[in-house]
Structure 1
Amino acid sequence: MTHAPQIKIPATYMRGGTSKGVFFRLQDLPASAQLPGPARDALLLRVIGSPDPYGKQIDGMGGATSSTSKTVIVSPSSKPDHDVDYLFGQVAIDKAFVDWSGNCGNLSAAVGSFAIGAGLVDPARVPADGVCTVRIWQSNIGKTIIAHVPVTRGQVQETGAFELDGVTFAAAEVRLEFMDPAAEEEGAGGAMFPTGNLVDELEVPGIGILKATMINAGIPTIFINADAVGYTGTELQDAINGDAGALAMFETIRAHGAVRMGLIAHIGEAAKRQHTPKVAFVAPPAGYTSSSGKRIEAADIDLLVRALSMGKLHHAMMGTAAVAIGTAAAIPGTLVNLAGGGGGRDAVRFGHPSGTLRVGAEACEVDGQWRVAKAIMSRSARVLMEGWVRVPGDAF
């Protein structure tokens, strides 16, 4: 009996924001995986260690959470005035499925750093000391992200004093600008509010009629009020993730919202579109103790937000969902804006399970339609390991 040898593929394991994933240069992937399709998906599944019926991803690079079961492919940009193209794959843990339907805002913070280190940015554009502006084309959603990456002695600066709730250690600050973040989702006509309303009544079987703000910005997101589903907005992960009934309820809300947003045609399609849309619940500010034991006072925040990712309550906040929060908060009348006290604002600080996060957005109304020029937030990123990943040669 012959056995397929392992092959090794150049890769970098990086943390970006409150997520981490395996980064590849497109040119380093095996030829069959350089194009979208079953071979690429099979390769990334094997790299991460999915599908794993045990839910642990022991035989791969994944960390068995939605925040750590991620892959990124970066290549020289095909778009004018951009440095690199960035493609994100959210790898399911217990299913043989890679979701390409959305971006990861947290790992977006690492793309610029990776691109510089991987030689994908023109060296003439990298200062000896200062900030390198990396122009990123986010291929999943067709949007521009501008990353401002600190550079010291010609190298990406990764250490620093910037603290991000949900990340244990301080690091260098990476400022991100998500340009024109309203997502152009198929079936939604590119509209920020695909139903045409800032607030809808969403009928969900077994739950009733919920008020919902459904927005395409950063990532398609369904916002509901916490008290409408029996929560306060101060919950930590165990309160939701340990309750199978709660998870099933939120997935039902997500599926019906996805249909209403035009992202899927039938409820049954939601299982094959796990990464988008997100579902989140909001509430006015209140004090609570974060997962790290840090006390968050009501006076420290504008509102509370809890969001689910890949069927579980996120331990902090997805970067793309933060863009959706900042965008919705800037538009008077959305549930996010109302939870934050209403009125106009260009930035919001919200409480999440790990602490707080500030995100800004520039919104204006043009001919009766809301537009957001950009959303702005800061994250950090760091290389954890670099070299090669190995997979069996017959795995893809």
Structure 2
Amino acid sequence: MLRVAAGLLESAPGTVQFYVATVDHGLRRQAEAEARFVAARAADCGLPHDTLRWRGWQGRGNLQAEARDARYRLLAAHAAAIGASAVLTAHHADDQIETHLLARARGEGGSALAGMRPCRDLAPGLRLLRPFLHLSGDGLRRALDRSGWRPVLDPSNRDPRFARARLRANPLDPSERASVAAAIARRAAERAEEDAALRAALDAVEARTDDLGRVRLSAEGLAGRPPELAARLVARVATAAGGARHAPERVAAFRLASELRGGRSEAATLNGAQFRRRGDVWIACREWGRTGPAELRGEPGEVRLLFDNRFDIRLTNDEARDGALVVPFGRLGRGSEAERTLPVLLDPSGEARLVHPGAAGKAGPVSGLLDATCRVGWRLCADLATPDGSAAVLPSG
């Protein structure tokens, strides 16, 4: 990707600005040297470079999944800091085939078999672009060799502890690759149709969000959706309003959608979200549960935080100097159902320093309001492009 960027700048100077970032996950001693190597190549091309460091691995859970999520969080935060509108990665056709095969091995179906999107929404105002998905890994390496550049190979890609590495140890023959590529193309076309139907369904149920992170749906509109579409719609709403990282199980979404469409319940929960009937609308909001959303502690100097996957928080350098502690407002024993899941910044003594504007009336004496932007509407529409191809965001109100 760096080599391609350099070539574009040579052939069309001034048309686009590139920044280079290397993520050091802190898992291998060689990573720091590799980051310096990339920084040197970037400098040769006249491009700025930053190393983004992650030190969050605690030795539990799925290492590759945690590292991937951390990588995109770091890249999104860095893009926001430098004003970038897109993040480009060098994923290629081999990665795409592996993604399909791994999903198939897990017994997944539908859009899970469509592989990675060439373009997806990474954060509000930020796209993730994968321009090399149609090229093989060998083809990219040969092109790099012809340019005189040496690739840096991550040894974890050959570590048999990881499923992807085991797949790479047994590559498909050309006919098998062609068959898998055709299956991915079919599933991708189906996914595009499902995306369009889901975007139209959000309009049909008159979906709206508000600054507290709630989602309102027309009960009549939801009742009129086909069962499959209603289930996907409810899963999307629950994931966005509930702050979940992943969609709920399909069976659970079908069950809840059936209850809501049939009017058999006035309240229900799914994936961290609570649905309540209010006259002719359903309102979904973050469920408090037993403890409320998890607290968030920023690194010293970290000025951009994502609270509960629902609120983007911006801090001043002073507010972030010692590392911010953000907790749900309900930890202070205050707030209504929706208000107590809003973010509040504590001072070192544990007192509220800044509160979300939606909780200001019940916060008591505080220093000011928290600069927090709700991303629930963006999450509802992420990857569901409008007819002109632009990113979609639900209106508030």
Same fold (TM over 0.5): no
- Structure ranking higher on relative contact order (CA contacts 8 Å, 6+ apart): 1
**More helix, by proportion:** 2
**More strand, by proportion:** 1
| TM-score, length basis structure 2 | 0.23
| TM-score, length basis structure 1 | 0.23
